[in-house]
């Protein structure tokens, strides 16, 4: 029996090693013969049951995050050169844009022990949200995994990507969440804040047992700031809600990532980041939909090339459903919109499918009567921002709700 058990364990370890090696080889450009994932919004429905399962809204049934209204910074690296650091970013180490064989889009591979500053140059105001996806390709070989810090800071009157902030992002004000990846449900998270380079707030370290079950697949991180209040979610779990976690003396204007030291070599682990979105303001869904008669959101997200709704859209859909339930006389038209990538006809068809998917989700997941909703799609024909910029394209990929 012991020999059988040992043989089974050897096969499991070998299979895991092969999976990680394949991902790392792809990231490092060792599989150039494979076609990179397409970046434009193509118009075919995926047939994979796995994709549908992963994207089930029920996975995020406790998720109440709602993104800001106006996008001030967006980056999914789709226009960046592979094997290079994204234009406008800064780091004190190395980083390169890559494609992955399992997940679409382009990703920034980050390394430790280095700091990464995004290309953002705009202020965040006093109410804003920040989101991104991260893949932690980790396999335990006995050493500690690198800490992953994600932080907001103010550069005051200095450039947001100045070299000084690679070593001193707490110079004015900063709030940083630190993720400590572990094994066997030992992962942890904490939050710290600084004002004028002095400690302003320090949380207790909070266990986060669920993290290691998501290694090797995209994890969605969302931050919401309302003046002093700081909240952070990882996938559906709200980890912190700190009433006074943001110093108000300076206006935040930068998102940073810092990867800690590890004894693992680059060939033994990998961390990838993409789909970064910073948006200001807090949408008043009820006022806009019921009183103004029109509500538009970029917070309902879809899988690439499809009308499958991503689970991190749950908070927005839930808020719309609650407005509909409390105002039973309200009927709405749901209209899908796309950016200008791809053909006009394909964009029009995709926008209609996505509007229908939203209607179905509101009916089946939240109990809104289908008779109160109809749908349409406008494709790329009614842009609200410049399709020549990343932020503009992201703002144009929206769902609109019109009171009838």
Q: What is the DSSP string of 74-116?
A: EE--TTSPTTSPPTT-EESS-EEEEE-SSS-SEEEEE-TT-EE
Contact (CB, 8 A) for 127 and 281: yes
Task: Give residue 188's pLDDT band: very low, low, confident or very high (50, 70, 90).
Answer: very high
Give the per-residue pLDDT at 283.
84
pLDDT tens, residue by residue, 279-327: 999 889 999 999 999 999 999 999 987 999 999 999 999 999 999 999 9
Mean pLDDT throughout 246-264?
97
The two structure tokens encoding residue 114? 């280095």
Task: Give residue 359's pLDDT band: very low, low, confident or very high (50, 70, 90).
Answer: very high
Task: Give residue 94's pLDDT band: very low, low, confident or very high (50, 70, 90).
Answer: very high
Instruction: Please compute Rg for the chain using Cα positions.
Output: 22
Q: Quick one: 393 and 289 in the same domain?
A: yes
Task: Give residue 86's pLDDT band: very low, low, confident or very high (50, 70, 90).
Answer: very high
Q: What CATH number did the domain enclosing 336 receive?
A: 3.30.1330.60
Q: Quick one: 272 and 316 in the same domain?
A: no
* DSSP assignment letter at 172: S
Contact (CB, 8 A) for 262 and 145: yes
- Of 247, 262, 280, the last residue of a domain is 280
Reference 113, options 269, 236, 238; nearest CA is 269
Chain Cα centroid distance, residue 39: 17
Q: How far is CA 190 from CA 148, 219, 227, 261, in A?
A: 11, 17, 20, 18
Task: Give residue 59's pLDDT band: very low, low, confident or very high (50, 70, 90).
Answer: confident
Q: Quick one: 112 and 251 in the same domain?
A: yes
Give the per-residue pLDDT at 126.
94
Q: Quick one: 389 and 250 in the same domain?
A: no
> Can you tell me the distance from the alpha carbon of 135 to that of 402, in angstroms, rounded to the nearest whole number?
37
Residue 89 predicted with pLDDT over 90: yes
More confident residue, 2 or 106: 106
Give the per-residue pLDDT at 368.
97
Q: Quick one: 235 and 360 in the same domain?
A: no
Q: Quick one: 270 and 177 in the same domain?
A: yes
Contact (CB, 8 A) for 334 and 374: yes
Reference 158, options 176, 171, 149; nearest CA is 171
Task: Give residue 61's pLDDT band: very low, low, confident or very high (50, 70, 90).
Answer: confident
Mean pLDDT throughout 47-71?
71
- Of 280, 309, 329, the last residue of a domain is 280
| Residue 12 within a domain | no
pTM of the prediction?
0.86
| Residue 106 within a domain | yes
Domains: count for the chain: 2
The two structure tokens encoding residue 72? 């001030």
Give the per-residue pLDDT at 22.
53
Q: Quick one: 116 and 215 in the same domain?
A: yes
| Residue 362 within a domain | yes
* DSSP assignment letter at 221: E
Residues with Cβ within 8 Å of 287's Cβ and at least 6 positions away in sequence, in order, are none
Q: What CATH number did the domain enclosing 111 receive?
A: 2.60.120.560
Residue 400 predicted with pLDDT over 50: yes
The two structure tokens encoding residue 273? 């980041």
| Residue 234 within a domain | yes
Mean pLDDT throughout 72-94?
97
Instruction: Give me the residues paired with residue 399 across strands.
Output: 297, 336
- Of 257, 280, 303, the last residue of a domain is 280
Q: Quick one: 112 and 230 in the same domain?
A: yes
Q: Quick one: 213 and 256 in the same domain?
A: yes
| Residue 25 within a domain | no
Give the per-residue pLDDT at 24.
53
Helix and strand numbers, DSSP H then E, in the chain: 6, 20
> Can you tell me the distance from the alpha carbon of 151 to that of 396, in angstroms, rounded to the nearest whole number?
27
Q: Quick one: 180 and 75 in the same domain?
A: yes
> Can you tell me the distance from the alpha carbon of 30 to that of 26, in angstroms, rounded to the nearest whole number?
6
Q: Whole domain around residue 346: which residue ranges? A: 285-403
| Residue 272 within a domain | yes
Reference 313, options 55, 88, 101; nearest CA is 55
The two structure tokens encoding residue 305? 């090339």
Mean pLDDT throughout 339-363?
96
Mean pLDDT throughout 64-81?
96
| Residue 269 within a domain | yes
| Residue 43 within a domain | no
H-run or E-run covering 3: helix 2-27
Q: Quick one: 289 and 326 in the same domain?
A: yes
Residue 134 predicted with pLDDT over 60: yes
DSSP one-letter string for 192-239: EEEETTEEEEEPPPEE-TTGGGGTTSEEEEEEEEETTEEEEEETTEEE
Q: Quick one: 97 and 153 in the same domain?
A: yes
């Amino acid at each position: 029996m012991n020999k059988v058990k040992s043989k089974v364990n050897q096969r499991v370890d070998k299979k895991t090693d092969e999976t990680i090696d394949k991902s790392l080889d792809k990231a490092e450009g060792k599989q150039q013969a494979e076609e990179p994932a397409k970046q434009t919004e193509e118009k075919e429905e995926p047939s994979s049951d796995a994709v549908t399962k992963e994207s089930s809204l029920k996975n995020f049934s406790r998720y109440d995050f709602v993104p800001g209204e106006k996008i001030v910074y967006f980056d999914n690296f789709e226009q960046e050169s592979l094997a290079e650091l994204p234009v406008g970013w800064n780091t004190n180490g190395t980083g390169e844009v890559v494609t992955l064989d399992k997940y679409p889009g382009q990703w920034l591979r980050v390394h430790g022990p280095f700091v990464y500053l995004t290309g953002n140059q705009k202020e965040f105001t006093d109410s804003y949200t920040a989101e991104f996806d991260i893949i932690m390709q980790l396999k335990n070989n006995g050493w500690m995994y690198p800490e992953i810090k994600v932080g907001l800071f103010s550069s005051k009157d200095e450039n947001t990507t100045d070299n000084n902030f690679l070593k001193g992002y707490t110079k004015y004000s900063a709030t940083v969440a630190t993720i400590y990846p572990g094994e066997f449900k030992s992962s942890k998270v904490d939050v710290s804040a600084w004002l004028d380079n002095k400690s302003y707030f320090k949380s207790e370290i909070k266990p986060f047992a669920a993290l290691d079950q998501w290694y090797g697949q995209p994890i969605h991180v969302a931050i919401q700031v309302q003046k002093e209040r700081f909240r952070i979610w990882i996938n559906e779990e709200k980890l912190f809600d700190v009433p006074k976690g943001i110093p108000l003396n300076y206006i935040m204007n930068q998102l940073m990532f810092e990867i800690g030291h590890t004894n693992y070599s680059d060939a033994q682990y990998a961390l990838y980041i993409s789909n970064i979105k910073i948006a200001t303001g807090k949408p008043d869904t009820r006022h806009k939909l019921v009183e103004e008669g029109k509500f538009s959101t970029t917070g309902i997200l879809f899988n690439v090339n499809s009308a499958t709704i991503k689970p991190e859209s749950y908070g927005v859909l839930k808020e719309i459903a609650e407005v509909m339930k409390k105002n039973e006389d309200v009927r709405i038209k749901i209209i899908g919109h796309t950016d200008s990538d791809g053909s006009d006809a394909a964009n029009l068809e995709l926008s209609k499918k996505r509007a229908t998917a939203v209607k179905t989700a509101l009916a089946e997941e939240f109990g809104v009567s289908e008779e109160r909703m109809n749908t349409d799609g406008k494709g790329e024909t009614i842009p609200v921002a410049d399709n020549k910029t990343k932020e503009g394209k992201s703002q144009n990929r929206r769902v609109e709700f019109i009171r009838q």
